[in-house]
C-alpha cells in the first residue's frame, strides 16, 4: 500500500493469446481507458509492432513521461533479462526473443516483464487478499499477521505466484511457482493442469455426461448446471468440479506445506468457488494413513475456507489462551491453532495483475537507487 499515493506512472500490458490490453497505473489505479489490440501471435513482426504501437498510444494518452514499462507475459521466459522463449499461446515467439531490451531501446525506459501468476500474487499481497485478512485480524484484536501468500489463477491454465514477507519469489530460472506441473493426484501420469483448467473441467463433464467434447458447455455453464440454475447433467457438472477440486487441493497442500501462508484464488474459473472450494479444503485437511495403520494429518496446519462465514470467524478468532511463564508468576498469551486459509480475490484478477506490475516496477526502481 506504500505506493497508493505515489505519483509515478507505469505503462502496463496484459498479454493474451488473442488480444493485448494496454493501460497505465498511478497510485495503484488505472488512469486511462484500456487500449485493446489484436495480439497477432502467429507473426512475430506484427506482434512486436503491435506491442510498440500499444505502448506508444498509452504514452500519448497519459501526456507525460512514464517511469517504466511493466507487464505480464506468458512463460517460459528469462524474466529478469526480458527474453521470451517458445510460447503456446503466442507461437511466433520461438528460439528466444529479447522483448525487454527491444522495448528499452524503443522507449528509453526500464522494462520489467513477469509471469501473470507472479504479478497476480504480488498485487493481492500489496492491495488485495493479504491486507484484507490482516485488517480483519487487527479489527478483531488478534495479534497474528500473515506475511506469506500464494496466488493461484484458474483458467486456460493453472498458474501461481508466491510472495514471502513482501518479496516475489521468481527462482533461479524464472520457474518458481509453476504449480501447473505438480503431479496430478487423480491421474498420476499427468500434471495438475490437465484437471485444473477449462479443458479439464470440460473433459470430465464430457466423460460423465457421455457427450462429445464439442458439445460440452463452458465452465460457467457447467457451474450453473451444477448449482441447479441451468438445465443439463447436474451429476456430471458436480463431478467435474469435484475432480478439479481434489487435484487443486492436493497441489495447494503441497505448496502451502512449503510456504506456510494464505492462498487466494483468481482467474476465470474462480467464480465457481461455491461448487469447488469446500472440496479443496476437504482435500487439504484429509489424513494420511501410515504403514502401521495410524492416521496423520496431511498438513501440520489446519486449512480454513475463508469464504465460509463460520470458518472465517473461527480463523480470525483463533484459540487464544494464557499460559504460565515457568519460574515466574507471570503469564503470556498464546494461540496454539496453527492455521492457513484459502479464499477468493476481492479486487479481481485483472486489477491485481495491474497493481502487481505497477508495484513491482516501482520496487525495482527504488532498489536501483
- The grid cell for 257 is 506445506
Please, which residues have CB within 8 angstroms of residue 50's CB and are 6 or more apart in sequence?
Answer: 20, 37, 38, 39, 40
Dihedral sign from CA coordinates of 357, 362, 367, 369: positive
Can you give the pTM of this predicted structure? Answer: 0.91
Give the pLDDT of residue 1.
61
Could you tell me if 321 and 336 are in contact, meaning their C-beta atoms sit under 8 angstroms apart?
yes
Domains in the chain with CATH codes = 10-114 (3.30.420.40), 129-346 (3.30.420.40)
Burial class (CB in 10 A: 0-12, 13-18, 19+), 60: exposed
Separation of alpha carbons 272 and 223, rounded Å: 6
Q: Report the candidate in 284, 252, 261, 301 with the shortest Cα–Cα distance to residue 145.
A: 261
Q: Grid coordinates standing for 204?
A: 470430465
Evaluate whether 68 touches 82 at the Cβ level (below 8 Å).
no
Long-range pairs for 40-48: beta carbons < 8 A, 24 or more residues apart:
40/92, 41/17, 41/87, 41/89, 41/90, 41/91, 41/92, 42/91, 42/92, 43/92, 44/92, 44/93, 44/97, 47/90, 47/92, 47/93, 48/97, 48/99, 48/102
- What are the mean pLDDT values of the chain's consecutive 10-residue runs (369 residues total)? 85 85 91 92 92 96 94 84 82 87 96 93 95 96 94 93 94 91 96 96 97 96 97 97 98 97 96 98 96 94 97 95 93 92 95 92 88
CB-based contacts of 293, cutoff 8 Å, min separation 6: none
Amino acid at each position: 500500500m506504500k505506493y497508493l499515493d505515489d505519483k509515478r506512472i507505469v505503462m502496463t500490458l496484459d498479454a493474451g493469446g488473442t488480444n493485448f490490453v494496454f493501460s497505465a497505473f498511478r497510485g495503484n489505479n488505472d488512469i486511462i481507458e484500456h487500449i485493446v489490440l489484436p495480439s497477432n501471435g502467429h507473426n512475430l513482426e506484427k506482434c512486436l509492432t503491435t506491442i510498440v504501437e500499444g505502448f506508444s498510444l498509452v504514452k500519448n494518452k497519459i501526456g507525460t513521461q512514464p517511469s517504466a514499462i511493466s507487464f505480464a507475459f506468458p512463460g517460459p521466459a528469462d524474466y529478469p533479462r526480458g527474453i521470451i522463449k517458445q510460447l503456446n499461446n503466442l507461437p511466433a515467439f520461438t528460439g528466444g526473443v529479447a522483448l525487454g531490451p527491444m522495448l528499452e531501446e524503443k522507449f528509453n525506459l526500464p522494462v520489467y516483464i513477469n509471469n501473470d501468476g507472479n504479478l497476480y500474487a504480488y498485487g493481492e499481497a500489496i492491495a488485495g487478499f493479504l491486507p484484507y485478512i490482516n485488517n480483519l485480524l487487527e479489527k478483531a484484536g488478534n495479534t497474528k499477521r500473515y506475511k506469506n501468500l500464494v496466488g493461484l489463477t484458474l483458467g486456460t491454465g493453472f498458474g501461481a505466484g508466491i510472495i514471502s514477507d513482501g518479496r516475489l519469489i521468481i527462482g533461479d530460472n524464472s520457474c518458481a511457482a509453476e504449480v501447473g506441473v505438480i503431479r496430478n493426484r487423480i491421474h498420476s501420469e499427468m500434471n495438475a493442469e490437465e484437471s485444473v483448467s477449462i479443458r479439464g473441467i470440460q473433459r470430465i463433464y464430457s466423460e460423465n455426461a457421455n457427450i462429445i467434447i464439442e458439445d460440452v458447455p463452458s465452465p460457467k455453464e457447467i457451474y450453473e448446471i451444477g448449482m441447479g440454475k441451468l438445465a443439463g447433467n447436474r451429476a456430471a457438472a458436480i463431478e467435474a468440479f469435484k475432480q478439479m477440486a481434489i487435484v487443486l487441493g492436493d497441489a495447494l497442500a503441497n505448496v502451502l506445506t512449503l510456504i506456510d501462508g494464505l492462498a487466494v484464488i483468481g482467474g476465470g474459473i474462480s467464480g465457481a468457488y461455491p461448487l469447488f472450494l469446500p472440496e479443496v479444503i476437504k482435500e487439504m485437511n484429509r489424513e494420511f494413513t501410515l504403514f502401521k495403520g495410524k492416521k496423520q494429518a496431511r498438513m501440520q496446519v489446519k486449512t480454513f475456507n475463508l469464504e465460509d462465514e463460520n470458518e472465517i470467524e473461527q480463523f480470525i478468532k483463533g484459540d487464544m489462551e494464557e499460559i504460565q511463564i515457568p519460574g515466574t508468576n507471570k503469564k503470556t498469551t498464546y494461540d496454539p491453532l496453527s492455521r492457513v486459509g484459502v479464499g477468493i480475490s476481492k479486487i479481481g484478477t485483472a486489477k491485481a495483475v495491474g497493481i502487481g506490475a505497477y508495484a513491482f516496477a516501482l520496487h525495482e526502481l527504488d532498489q536501483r537507487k
